[in-house]
Amino acid sequence: MPSAPDPGVSTPPAPPPLASLLADGRVALFLDFDGTLVELAPGPDAIAPLADMGERLGRLAVRLGGACAVVSGRAISDIERHIGALAVPAAGSHGSDIRFPDGERHGNSAQGLPEEIEASLRSFADKHDLDYEHKPHGGALHYRRNPENGSKAVAFAQDLAQQHGWAAQSGKCVVELVANDANKGSAVETLMAMSPFAGAMPFFIGDDLTDEAGFRACQDAGGAGILVGDRQGSCAQYAITDVASVHQWLEL
Q: Which residues contact 232 (CB under 8 A, 6 or more apart)?
A: 10
Phi then psi for 147, rounded to 5 degrees?
Answer: -65, -20
CB atoms under 10 Å from CB of 248, counted, come to 13
d(CA 235, CA 225) in angstroms, rounded, equals: 7
d(CA 123, CA 56): 41
Name which of 117, 118, 172, 168 is nearest 143 in CA terms: 172
Count Cβ atoms below 10 Å from residue 109 Cβ, excluding itself.
14
Q: Is 79 exposed, middle or buried (0-12, 13-18, 19+ CB in 10 A)?
A: buried
Measured CA to CA, the distance from residue 189 to residue 163 in angstroms comes to: 29
Q: Are 96 and 75 in contact (CB under 8 A)?
A: no
Full DSSP string of 26-95: -EEEEE-SBTTTB---SSTT-----TTHHHHHHHHHHHTTT-EEEE-SS-HHHHHHHH-S-SS-EEETTT
Asked if 32 is an active-site residue, the reply is yes
Q: Which listed residue (6, 24, 32, 181) is catalytic?
A: 32
Strands 238-240 and 224-228: parallel
Active site amino acids: 32
